[in-house]
C-alpha cells in the first residue's frame, strides 16, 4: 500500500510539473502575441483551487491531474466584444498561431535541458560500467565479450556509467547488429566486439537490455551473513543477530544471499524455521515474516540486510560539472534522449519494436516512484526524460495534439486558406480515436506487467 501511495504521489507531482511547464509555454507566447487568456488550468474536472487575476485570467487547479489546458479567446467558440476582437487567437496571423501552439512542446524541451543542467551541477553519483559476468550461450558470449572489462562505447555512443549503457542499448532495439567497445582496467587498449542481434528478444517488463544480452554488471560480493537487523523487525523478535550466517530456510539450503532473499518472500505471515551458524554453533530459530506489498504482490519481509564488500574506489565516479560545462552535458543528454525517443517511435511504426513495449500511466507512475526513491537528482533525470517524451508526443501530427494543429496551420501557410472546419472535425475524431487506442495499449501493457 505504501509503495502504491508513494508511486501515486510521485506521479502526480511529476505530471503536475510537466503539465504546468507545457501549458505555460502556450500561455506565455499567447500573452506576448496579444491573445487574451481566459483560463489556465492544471488538471481537468472540478476545481479544487482557483483564482482570478486582475487581467481576468482564471487560474485553476483541478481534480483530475492527467493534463491541463489554456483557454484563449476565440471567435469560433465565444461571443467576442468588439473591443476584444484584436485579442482573439483566431484573429492572429498564421505565424503567430504556429508560435503559440509550438510553444508548449518547446517549453518541455527547455525544461528537460534545465532539469538536466541542475542535475549535472549537483552531481550524479555513479559507477563505471564494468562487466561482472557473461551468461554462457548468450548474444554477448557469442560476440566473445569478456568479464571484468569496462564498456566504453555502444554503437558509437560514449558510455561513462550504466545508465548511458542502457540508453544506448535501448536505441539498438530492432537493429540486426551493433558494436560494443571495451577496455581492461589496467590497459588503455580498446577492443571492439560486434553483437549479432537478429534474434535479440527483449521484454522490458521482465528484464533489462543488459541481461537480455547476457551481460551482468559487476557488483561487490554479497556474503551470506547478516550485517543489519531492523529494530522491532520479525528478525529481531526471533532472536537473529548481526554476524549470523544463513544455512537454510525451512528445508531449502541457502548457500547464497540471493536464494535466501527470494525464498523468504514466499512466507508472508507464515512461521518458518531459519537455520544459522552463530560462532560455529548451528541454531534453528522460528520467524514469522511480516506481509508487505511490492509491485502489487504480497511478500514476506523480516527486516535484515547482508554483509556486502565495499565498492572499489576506482569504479566510483560522480558526473558533476561546473556552470559552463554543465550546459554542454545537459544539451548532449537532451539531444541523446530526443534522438532515442524519435528512434523508438519510428521503430514502433515500422514494427521493429513491439507495441508491447509501450507504457501507460501505471508504468510511468512506477518509474516516478522508483526515481524519486533513489534521490532528487534521479527524479530530475526522470522528469527530463518524460518531459522530452511529452514534447515529442505532442508534436505527432494527430489533430487532437499540438502537432495536428500545427499541421493544419502549415497547410494554411502554403495554401493561403484555412483548412475547412468539417475537415478539421473529421481529423479531430480520427486523432481522438488513435490517441485512445494508444492509451488503451499502454494501459493493457501496464496491467499485463502487474498481473503477469
By CB neighbour count within 10 A (0-12 exposed, 13-18 middle, 19+ buried), where does 195 fall? buried
Q: Which grid coordinates belong to 424?
A: 478539421
Of 421, 449, 436, nearest to 364 by C-alpha is 449
How crowded is residue 269: how many other Cβ atoms within 10 Å of its Cβ? 10
- How far, in Å, CA of 295 to CA of 449, rounded? 10
80 Cβ contact partners less than 8 Å away, ≥ 6 residues apart: 73, 88
Name the residue with cell 490517441.
435
What phi and psi, each to the nearest 5 degrees, are found at residue 205? -80, -15
DSSP letter string over 231-253? TTSHHHHHT--TTPEEEEETTEE
- How far, in Å, CA of 264 to CA of 261, rounded? 6
User: Has 293 been annotated as catalytic?
Assistant: no
Q: Which grid coordinates belong to 2?
A: 505504501
Q: What is each CA distance from 30 to 20, 37, 38, 275, 424, in whole angstroms?
A: 15, 7, 11, 70, 22
Q: Which of 23, 225, 412, 418 is catalytic?
A: 23
- Return the active site residues: 23
Amino acid at each position: 500500500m505504501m509503495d502504491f501511495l508513494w508511486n501515486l504521489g510521485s506521479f502526480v507531482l511529476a505530471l503536475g510539473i510537466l503539465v504546468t511547464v507545457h501549458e505555460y509555454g502556450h500561455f506565455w507566447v499567447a500573452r506576448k502575441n496579444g491573445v487574451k487568456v481566459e483560463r489556465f488550468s492544471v488538471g481537468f474536472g472540478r476545481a479544487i483551487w482557483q483564482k482570478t487575476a486582475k487581467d481576468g485570467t482564471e487560474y485553476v487547479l483541478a481534480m483530475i491531474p492527467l493534463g491541463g489546458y489554456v483557454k484563449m479567446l476565440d471567435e469560433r467558440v465565444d461571443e467576442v466584444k468588439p473591443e476584444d476582437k484584436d485579442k482573439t487567437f483566431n484573429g492572429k496571423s498564421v505565424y503567430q498561431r504556429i508560435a503559440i501552439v509550438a510553444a508548449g512542446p518547446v517549453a518541455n524541451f527547455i525544461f528537460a535541458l534545465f532539469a538536466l543542467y541542475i542535475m549535472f551541477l549537483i552531481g550524479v553519483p555513479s559507477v563505471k560500467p564494468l562487466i561482472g559476468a557473461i551468461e554462457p550461450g548468450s548474444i554477448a558470449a557469442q560476440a566473445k565479450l569478456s568479464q571484468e572489462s569496462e564498456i566504453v562505447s555502444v554503437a558509437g555512443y560514449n558510455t561513462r556509467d550504466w545508465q548511458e549503457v542502457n540508453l544506448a542499448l535501448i536505441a539498438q532495439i530492432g537493429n540486426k547488429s551493433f558494436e560494443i567497445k571495451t577496455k581492461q582496467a589496467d590497459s588503455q587498449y580498446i577492443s571492439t566486439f560486434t553483437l549479432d542481434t537478429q534474434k535479440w528478444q527483449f521484454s522490458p517488463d521482465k528484464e533489462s537490455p543488459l541481461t537480455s544480452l547476457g551481460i551482468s554488471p559487476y557488483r561487490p560480493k554479497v556474503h551470506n551473513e547478516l550485517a543489519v537487523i531492523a529494530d522491532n523487525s520479525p528478525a529481531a523478535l526471533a532472536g537473529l543477530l548481526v554476524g549470523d550466517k544463513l544455512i537454510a530456510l525451512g528445508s531449502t539450503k541457502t548457500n547464497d544471499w540471493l536464494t535466501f532473499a527470494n525464498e523468504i518472500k514466499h512466507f508472508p505471515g507464515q512461521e518458518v524455521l531459519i537455520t544459522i551458524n552463530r560462532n560455529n554453533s548451528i541454531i534453528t530459530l522460528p520467524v514469522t515474516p511480516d506481509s508487505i506489498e511490492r509491485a502489487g504482490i504480497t511478500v514476506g519481509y523480516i527486516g535484515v540486510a547482508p554483509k556486502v564488500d565495499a565498492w572499489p574506489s576506482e569504479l566510483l565516479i560522480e558526473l558533476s560539472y561546473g556552470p559552463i560545462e554543465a550546459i554542454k552535458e545537459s544539451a548532449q543528454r537532451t539531444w541523446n534522449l530526443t534522438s532515442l525517443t524519435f528512434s523508438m517511435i519510428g521503430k514502433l511504426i515500422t514494427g521493429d519494436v513491439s507495441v508491447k513495449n509501450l507504457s501507460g500511466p501505471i508504468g510511468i507512475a512506477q518509474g516516478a516512484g522508483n526515481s524519486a526513491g533513489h534521490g532528487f537528482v534521479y527524479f530530475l533525470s526522470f522528469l527530463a526524460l518524460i518531459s522530452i517524451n511529452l514534447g515529442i508526443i505532442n508534436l505527432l501530427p494527430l489533430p487532437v495534439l499540438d502537432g495536428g494543429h500545427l499541421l493544419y496551420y502549415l497547410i494554411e501557410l502554403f495554401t493561403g486558406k484555412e483548412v475547412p472546419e468539417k475537415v478539421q472535425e473529421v481529423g479531430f475524431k480520427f486523432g481522438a480515436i488513435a490517441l485512445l487506442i494508444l492509451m488503451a495499449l499502454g494501459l493493457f501493457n501496464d496491467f499485463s506487467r502487474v498481473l503477469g
